[in-house]
């Protein structure tokens, strides 16, 4: 069912500093930061030859990554995103296998303007998984 790794999202306390690390130390092509108020994050995309890295900094008091950064003050891997062809079929399959879809269980429009859903980390080896319809 799952296809390519679309991105690895890393929550960071300071997106400027994290961008500089990727640009200056790792030599990556780092995009400009942009606010995604509806998702409560400021995002930087880093394009790699085979996938993307997304740096996420909290935006606003209700940011969904604030709690994660309280537990991981230096930042850390927040989630992995796998591509699927049909998000509804994926959701139906996951529910039938007992995996918990977060939120109301229905896909939402994600950071790239495509339907996404998130799966409970306790069902997936302690890793928050995002599925994105491509
Ligand atoms: Co993501």
Q: What is the pLDDT of residue 10?
A: 98
User: In angstroms, what is the span from residue 84 Cα to ligand 1's centroid?
Assistant: 13
> Which tens digit of pLDDT belongs to each residue from 34-60?
999 988 999 999 999 999 999 999 999
Q: What is the pLDDT of residue 112?
A: 82
> Which tens digit of pLDDT belongs to each residue from 120-132?
999 999 999 999 9
Q: What's the CA gap between 114 and 108, in Å, rounded?
A: 8
In the chain, what are the domain boundaries?
5-133
User: In angstroms, what is the span from residue 106 Cα to ligand 1's centroid?
Assistant: 16
% the chain with pLDDT above 70: 100
CATH class of this structure's domain 5-133: alpha beta
User: In angstroms, what is the span from residue 53 Cα to ligand 1's centroid?
Assistant: 9
């Amino acid at each position: 069912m799952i296809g390519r790794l679309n991105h690895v999202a890393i929550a960071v306390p300071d997106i400027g500093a994290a961008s500089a690390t990727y640009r200056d130390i790792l030599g990556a092509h780092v995009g400009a930061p942009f606010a995604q108020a509806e998702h409560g994050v400021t995002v930087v995309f880093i394009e790699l030859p085979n996938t993307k890295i997304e740096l996420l900094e909290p935006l606003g008091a209700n940011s969904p990554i604030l709690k994660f950064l309280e537990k991981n003050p230096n930042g850390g891997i927040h989630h992995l995103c796998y591509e699927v062809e049909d998000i509804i079929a994926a959701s139906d399959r996951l529910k039938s296998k007992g995996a918990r879809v977060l939120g109301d269980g229905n896909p939402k429009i994600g950071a790239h303007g495509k339907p996404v859903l998130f799966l409970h980390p306790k069902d997936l080896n302690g890793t928050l998984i995002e599925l994105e319809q491509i």
